Amino acid sequence: MKGKPNKPFPLSKAQLEAVARQYPTPFYLYDETGIRQNARAIRRAFSIFPLFKEHYAVKALPNPFILQILAEEGFGADCSSLPELLLAERAGIRGEAVMFTSNETPAQEYQTALDMGAVINLDDFTHIAFLEQNARIPGLISCRYNPGPLKGGNAIIGKPEEAKYGFTREQILQAFPLLRDKGARRFALHTMVASNELNVAYHIETARILFELAVELQVKTGILLEFVNLGGGVGIPYTMEQEPLDYEYLAAGIRKAYDTIILPAGLDPLGIHTEWARVVTGPYGWLVARAIHRKHIYREYIGLDACMADLMRPALYGAYHHITIPGKEDAPCTETYDIVGSLCENNDKFAVQRHLPKIEVGESTGDFVVIHDAGAHGRAMGFNYNGKLRCGELLLGSDGSLTLIRRKETLEDYFATLPATLVPVFKTLV
Ligand SMILES: *Cc1c(COP(=O)(O)O)cnc(C)c1O
């Protein structure tokens, strides 16, 4: 047990009191310095390759302020929908810095991605004809490979054989020559087979599978790939027992596979691309809530002003998120609590039977409850069930400034999608 979170919450209790007076809890807080340092460490580790590009998966934290920080650090974007393409565009991420990795894609989204000059990453063989009929085959095209039984599974994403994504090996070998016949001139190969995976060997094996297929493609079809995209899925240590993945060690392992497979085949330089998200921003975001109720029945409960509509990972996957109580970081964990939200769903629990210091409750006086590692797949997965309004987002700048980068939702937001004739009725009720 390390006992301490990997990334300590960056504000003291006194600082947090001041922030909460201006921006009532709950809210997300992101740390610019941490994100930048981490982005630089990733690029440094992969600088051992002739060509490296990370495309941050926008879905994990779709806020243009964050995307702009990442763009300044040289990252591109991975998008899977029209709004995500627009977010990347707004953050100044353009052209081939954008990977469009979607599935069951509508024609209009392909067209927009093409108009933006993004790299289209096809998810299925039938999409070659679909793209040609509804838009056009671009000069640079990528295909997503599903290795099926050749690759072992992973807890969150499941077995590749059962995953809906990508082309089979045989389809890949047919797709690229067909795309060449239809006018494509530059080619890339993608895969994504894991989620939240901390095992370095697993990621190295993924790279090796892509390298071997790159060689096979060249030998059998004469197609030369410009880059391979290893996808996302690098894990973070949510629990105190886990250790962060070592970027340098991972990059060195992939480099070794590159040297033994790509170099002798004469395929150097081959670009190495990634679509990491969780590991890029996850540890640098926190959900900050306040303890407002305590309840004692068969168990001891602490009720927060946040709920699973703000962060659904614990409810959805039973995921562990570390929790600290500002001002009580070193206090003994004498209590055993279920830390819960207000949703009418019994799985609305941020923590189950968690050992924590004694927590004081109260709407404006209660202890703050900080939920760690919420900087990816956090606010983004929020929803409005039970009429819950999603919380806002704050950015702690490298200069110490605090910026509201998304406000909390309002009742007006909640009713905005009703027919226009009804909206005034609700306005009079508020
Ligand atoms: C979700 C996703 C990612 C990012 O995954 P992380 O686990 O957050 O790194 C990358 N690529 C694709 C296609 C995805 O669906």
User: Is 429 part of a structural domain of the chain?
Assistant: no
Q: What type of residue sits at position 419?
A: P
Of 250, 280, 310, the residue that ends a domain is: 280
Domain shared by 250 and 321, yes or no? no
Cα–ligand 1 centroid distance for 234 (angstroms): 9
Of all protein residues, whose CA lies closest to atom 10 belonging to ligand 1?
232
The answer for residues whose C-beta is within 8 angstroms of residue 158's C-beta and 6 or more apart is: none
Find the domain containing 17 and state its range: 13-29+282-415
Tokens representing 210? 């892509």
Cα–ligand 1 centroid distance for 194 (angstroms): 9
Domain shared by 225 and 369, yes or no? no
In this predicted structure, what is the pLDDT of residue 157? 62
User: Is 240 part of a structural domain of the chain?
Assistant: yes
Q: What type of residue sits at position 281?
A: T
Tokens representing 224? 């030369």
Instruction: Give the CB-side neighbour count of residue 394, counting CA atoms within 13 A.
Output: 20
Mind listing the pLDDT tens digit of every residue in the chain (430 residues)? Answer: 445 677 899 999 999 999 999 999 999 999 999 999 999 999 999 999 999 999 999 999 999 999 999 999 999 999 999 999 999 999 999 999 999 999 999 999 999 999 999 999 999 999 999 999 999 999 999 999 999 987 776 666 668 888 899 999 999 999 999 999 999 999 999 999 889 999 999 999 999 999 999 999 999 999 999 999 999 999 999 999 999 999 999 999 999 999 999 999 999 999 999 999 999 999 999 999 999 999 999 999 999 999 999 999 999 999 999 999 999 999 999 999 999 999 999 999 999 999 999 999 999 999 999 999 999 999 999 999 999 999 999 999 999 999 999 999 999 999 999 998 887 777 777 6
User: Is 426 part of a structural domain of the chain?
Assistant: no
Q: Are 355 and 333 in contact (CB under 8 A)?
A: yes
In this predicted structure, what is the pLDDT of residue 421? 84
Q: β-strand 323-324 against 300-304: which pairing, if any?
A: unpaired
Judge if the beta carbon of residue 194 lies within 6 A of ligand 1.
no
CATH for 22 = 2.40.37.10
Judge if the beta carbon of residue 123 lies within 6 A of ligand 1.
no
Residue among 311, 309, 323 at smallest CA distance from 375: 311
Ligand 1 atom at minimal distance to the Cα of residue 101: 13
Ligand 1 atom at minimal distance to the Cα of residue 282: 8
Domain shared by 253 and 286, yes or no? no
Ligand 1 atom at minimal distance to the Cα of residue 121: 13
Domain count, the chain: 2
Neighbours of 139 (CB within 10 A): 9
Q: β-strand 27-31 against 402-406: which pairing, if any?
A: unpaired
The answer for residues whose C-beta is within 8 angstroms of residue 259's C-beta and 6 or more apart is: none
Of 262, 280, 298, the residue that ends a domain is: 280
User: Is 4 part of a structural domain of the chain?
Assistant: no
Of all protein residues, whose CA lies closest to atom 3 belonging to ligand 1?
232
Q: Are 426 and 415 in contact (CB under 8 A)?
A: yes
Residue among 372, 333, 371 at smallest CA distance from 354: 333
In this predicted structure, what is the pLDDT of residue 1? 41
In this predicted structure, what is the pLDDT of residue 253? 98
Cα–ligand 1 centroid distance for 144 (angstroms): 13
Domain shared by 223 and 348, yes or no? no
